[in-house]
């Protein structure tokens, strides 16, 4: 599988660590797939510990903004609210958090992650149509976060392939991910 | 042109301006092409033009008029004709042989001149073009994404919803915030409305959708514009008087999305602040909830599968897609859009397809992209967002051709009286 391009730096985190966190993100993506949702999943990690996870819920909610990242962000914000943390405290914790997500964050999510001031993002496959971390816009550069792609990209892509294959046979088939075609 | 300036007196200074997909070029700096031209004898004009249209049609310059007519002193007219585009290397010996033959048989004395490369998009551009060489101008018609030619009724409706959004933005007890109103333009019905909930000190849970208080106003406003047909645009409600507003600070989410921690620092720990709950995001959430309530159990996963926001992923390197400039493509999209809008209000909505959104301030990137995802048809905003605006001020998301959905963007200008009462933060 091709790695994710020259714009992304090489992944500095301990390889084993980032693989195991990405594995958890892939598990989330599989949950989405089982619920007939676009299979994207993610986890948020603070100091080596998973503090939130999320997966796509756009069908269930009929809200096309309910991407995995937004779900996980709401989970952890809700938790922090209950714990009585202040906005300043929350901002400080976000600045130490790392997101692992199976697919490059879209322009909306990349922008949200920049607003929150998250530290780093590791993603699986690139998002050629909506990607906000290099594919279409590069929102991680100016007021953003460090961003590394291509981690377990083939797993992420094969979930998309499964998603299309289980989809409604009457629906026009969308374009297959290119890499999936190449590797099949 | 009536497209931009409304003629009617009672509408006053309200005005709708289209925000194009590409940054506007000053009319006198439009791209040009060098062409070979020649004065011709009027009595041969028809024959020459007919022959030229056969041997050297202006394929990519259909907006350029073949013949220029200049009135000389004494009432005589001088005609000039475009023979062909200057050959790539600039060497006139590279002109098509048939054109060269025409030149010699009519003993034409050629010269090179410039014509505008693209058809004019506005009357201003067209007037500037004609100073170089005459072109034809076809104002966009209404059914192409409603870019121009808002009818008076449509304009009134736009102004009334815009006014409502600005009122909403300024109606809070503490701060001026951004506000969003999602509207079904066919039924003039408000689908959802919301204010920023970044620093949200209301007692009500932030998660629930439409605030009851807003809902009453919404009903009132739709009824008012439906029944009377006319609404009063001239004044904001009394609580929006300038004195009152100047005492308030403005914490418009989209203007400074990164400073939420500072803005919310004084919130009590029990209050419901949320860095990402910009007005547009909250309004989208409300509209989705309305959809679920009105059409429970209408699982439309099949639509989702075919429409798939995440349809194109790859593990390859991120690469900017070839930007296509094909106008026909745009028209095709717009025709589809019209089909959707003709389906009427009783049709189950697919996300916000066919709906418009009114925002007090131009949205930030997050909100603008959320509105792409939710398939909003048109965006109207009153105030530009120089610090973080994604629809023309900083980014221009409506011009990103790779996105699978494109909305049309408009700025609504409000009368000075109304504007003066709304402080515009410069952050
Ligand atoms: Zn925003």
Q: Is residue A103 part of a domain?
A: yes
Cβ contact (<8 Å) for B316 and A167? no
- Give chain A's domain count: 1
User: What's the CATH code of the domain at A58?
Assistant: 3.40.140.10
Best A36, A87, A127, A171 member to test B by mutation, with max B CBs in 10 Å, is: A87
- Secondary structure of chain A: what % helix, strand, coil (to 5)? 45, 20, 35
Check: complex ipTM more than 0.95: no
Higher pLDDT, B47 or B326: B47
Residue A142: closest CA among B388, B391, B178: B388
pLDDT of B145 > 70? The answer is: no
Share of chain B above pLDDT 70, in %: 66
Q: A146 lies in a domain?
A: yes
Which of B8-12, B180-184, B187-191, B199-203 is predicted with the least confidence, judged by mean pLDDT? B8-12
Mean pLDDT, range B278-298, rounded to an integer:
89
Q: Model confidence at A146, in pLDDT bands (50, 70, 90)?
A: very high
Check residue B419 and give its pLDDT. 60
Chains A, B: CB contacts within 8 A come to 211
Segment of B72-76, B89-93, B141-145, B201-205 carrying the highest mean pLDDT: B89-93
- Quote the ligand 1 centre to B365 CA distance (angstroms): 6
pLDDT in tens, B387-405: 999 999 999 999 888 888 8
A10, part of any domain: no
Residue A174 lies in a domain: no
| Spacing, Cα B1 to ligand 1 middle (Å) | 33
Which pLDDT value is given to residue B118? 84
Which residues from chain A sit within 8 angstroms of residue B311, using beta carbons? Answer: 129, 174-175
Q: How confident is the model at residue B199 (pLDDT cuts 50, 70, 90)?
A: confident
Q: Would you say B404 and A129 are in contact if contact means Cβ atoms under 8 Å apart? A: yes
> Does A5 or A95 have the greater pLDDT score?
A95
Q: Residue A123 — very low, low, confident or very high, per pLDDT cuts 50/70/90?
A: very high
What is the rounded average pLDDT of the residues B354-368? 95
Model confidence at B318: pLDDT above 80: no
Q: Is A177 inside a domain boundary?
A: no
Question: Taking residues B87-99, what's their average pLDDT?
Answer: 89
User: Is A23 annotated in the active site?
Assistant: no
Whole-number average pLDDT of chain B: 74
**Chain B residue at shortest CA distance from A166:** B305
Write out residues 53-112 of A within 8 Å (CB-CB) of B: 56, 58-59, 61-65, 70, 73, 77, 81, 84-88, 90-91, 103-104, 106-108, 111-112
- Mean pLDDT value across residues A77-89: 91
Mean pLDDT for the stretch of residues B279-285: 96
Is pLDDT of B338 > 60? Answer: no
Domain containing A158 equals 16-166
Query: What's the whole-number mean pLDDT along residues B199-224?
Result: 39
pLDDT of residue B173: 64
Contacts of A114 in chain B (CB under 8 A): 258
- Taking residues B46-69, report their average pLDDT: 90
* 0.90 exceeded by pTM: no
The answer, yes or no, to whether residue A19 has pLDDT greater than 80, is yes
Q: Is the pLDDT of residue A169 over 60?
A: no
Least confident stretch, A11-25, B2-16, B33-47, B153-167: B2-16
More confident residue, B315 or A21: A21
CA of residue B124 to ligand 1 center, whole Å: 33
How confident is the model over B295-311, as pLDDT tens digits? 887 554 444 433 344 43
**Does A31 map to a domain?**
yes
**pLDDT of B279 strictly over 80:** yes
**pLDDT at residue B325 tops 60:** no
How confident is the model at residue B243, as a pLDDT?
36
> Residue A80: its chain B contacts at CB < 8 A?
none
Quote the pLDDT of residue A61. Answer: 93
Handedness of CA B111, B112, B114, B118 (dihedral sign): positive
Domain assignment present for residue A181? The answer is: no
- Dump pLDDT digits (tens) for B402-419: 888 889 999 999 886 666
Rounded average pLDDT over A71-96: 94
3-class SS letters over chain B: CCCCCCCCHHHCCCEEEEECCCCCCCHHHCCEEEEEEEEECHHHHHHHHHHHHHHCCCCCCCCECCEEEEECHHHCEEEEEEEEECCCCCCHHHCCHHHHHHHHHHCCCCEEEEEECCCCCCHHHHHHHHHHCCECCCCCCCCCCCCCCCCHHHHHHHHHHHHHHHHHHCCCCCEECCEEEEEECCCCEEEEEEECCCCCCCCCCCCCCCCHHHHHHHHHHHHHHHHHCCCCCCCCCHHHCHHHHHCCEECCHHHCHHHHHHHCCCCCCCCCCCCCCCHHHHHHHHHHHHHHHHCCCCCCHHHHHHHCCCCCEECCCCCCCCCCCCHHHHHHHHHHHHHHHHCCCCCCCCCCCCCEEEEEECCCHHHHHHHHHCCCCEEEEEECCCCCCCECCCCEHHHCCCCCCCCEEEEEECCHHHHHCCCCCCC
Show the domains of chain B with their CATH numbers: 32-132 (3.30.70), 152-201+247-293+349-421 (3.40.140.10)
What pLDDT is attached to residue B348? 66
Residue A2 within any structural domain of the chain: no
The mean pLDDT value for A16-21 works out to 86
Name the pLDDT band for B326 (thresholds 50, 70, 90).
very low
CB A131 within 8 A of CB A106: yes
Q: Which of B275, B315, B374 minimises the CB distance to A65?
A: B374
**pLDDT score of B50:** 92
CB-closest option in B267, B272, B309 to A130: B309
Q: Residue A55: is its pLDDT beyond 60?
A: yes
| Chain segment B229-259, per-residue pLDDT in tens | 333 333 333 333 333 333 445 688 999 899 8
């Amino acid at each position: 599988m091709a790695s994710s391009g020259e714009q992304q730096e090489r992944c500095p985190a301990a390889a084993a660590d980032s693989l195991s966190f990405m594995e958890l993100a892939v598990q989330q993506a599989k949950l989405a797939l089982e619920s007939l949702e676009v299979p994207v999943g993610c986890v948020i990690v603070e100091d080596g510990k998973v503090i939130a996870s999320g997966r796509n819920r756009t069908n269930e909610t009929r809200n096309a903004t309910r991407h995995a990242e937004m779900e996980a962000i709401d989970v952890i914000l809700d938790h922090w609210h209950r714990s009585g943390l202040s906005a300043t405290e929350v901002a400080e914790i976000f600045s130490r958090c790392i997101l692992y997500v199976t697919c490059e964050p879209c322009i909306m999510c990349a922008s949200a992650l920049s607003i929150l001031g998250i530290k780093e993002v590791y993603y699986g496959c690139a998002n050629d149509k909506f990607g906000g971390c290099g594919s279409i816009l590069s929102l991680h550069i100016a007021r953003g976060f460090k961003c590394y792609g291509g981690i377990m990209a083939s797993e992420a892509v094969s979930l998309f392939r499964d998603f299309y294959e289980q989809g409604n046979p009457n629906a026009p088939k969308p374009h297959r991910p290119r890499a999936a075609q190449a590797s099949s | 042109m009536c497209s931009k300036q409304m003629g009617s007196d009672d509408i006053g200074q309200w005005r709708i301006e289209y925000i194009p997909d590409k940054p506007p070029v000053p009319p006198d700096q439009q791209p040009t092409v060098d062409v070979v031209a020649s004065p011709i004898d009027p009595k041969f004009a028809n024959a020459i033009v007919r022959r030229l249209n056969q041997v050297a049609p202006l394929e990519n310059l259909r907006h350029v008029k073949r013949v220029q007519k200049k009135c000389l002193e004494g009432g005589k007219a001088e005609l000039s004709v475009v023979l062909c585009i200057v050959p790539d290397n600039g060497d006139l010996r590279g002109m098509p042989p048939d054109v060269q033959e025409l030149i010699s048989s009519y003993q034409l004395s050629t010269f090179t001149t410039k014509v505008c490369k693209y058809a004019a998009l506005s009357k201003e551009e067209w007037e500037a073009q004609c100073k170089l060489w005459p072109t034809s101008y076809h104002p966009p018609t209404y059914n192409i994404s409603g870019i121009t030619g808002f009818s008076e009724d449509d304009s009134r409706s736009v102004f009334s919803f815009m006014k409502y959004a600005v009122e909403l933005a300024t109606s809070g007890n503490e701060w001026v915030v951004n506000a969003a109103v999602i509207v079904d333009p066919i039924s003039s019905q408000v689908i959802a409305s919301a204010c920023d909930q970044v620093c949200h000190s209301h007692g009500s849970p932030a998660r629930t959708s439409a605030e009851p208080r807003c809902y009453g106003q919404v009903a009132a406003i739709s009824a008012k514009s439906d029944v009377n047909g006319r609404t009063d645009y001239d004044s904001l409600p009394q609580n929006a008087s300038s004195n009152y507003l100047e005492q308030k600070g403005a914490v418009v989410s989209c203007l400074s999305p990164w400073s939420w921690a500072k803005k919310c620092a004084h919130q009590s720990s029990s209050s419901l602040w949320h860095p990402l709950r910009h007005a547009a995001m909250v309004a989208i959430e409300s509209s989705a909830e309305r959809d679920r309530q009105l059409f429970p159990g209408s699982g439309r996963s099949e639509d989702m599968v075919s429409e798939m926001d995440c349809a194109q992923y790859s593990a390859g390197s991120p690469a900017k897609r070839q930007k296509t400039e094909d106008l026909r493509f745009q028209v095709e999209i717009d025709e589809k859009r019209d089909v959707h809008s003709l389906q009427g209000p009783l049709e189950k909505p697919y996300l916000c397809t066919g709906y418009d959104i009114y925002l007090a301030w131009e949205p930030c990137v997050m909100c603008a992209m959320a509105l792409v995802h939710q398939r909003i048809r048109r965006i109207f905003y009153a105030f530009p967002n120089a610090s973080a605006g994604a629809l023309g001020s900083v980014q221009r998301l409506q011009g990103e051709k790779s996105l699978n959905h494109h909305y049309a963007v408009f700025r609504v200008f409000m009368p000075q009286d109304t504007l003066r009462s709304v402080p515009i933060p410069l952050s």
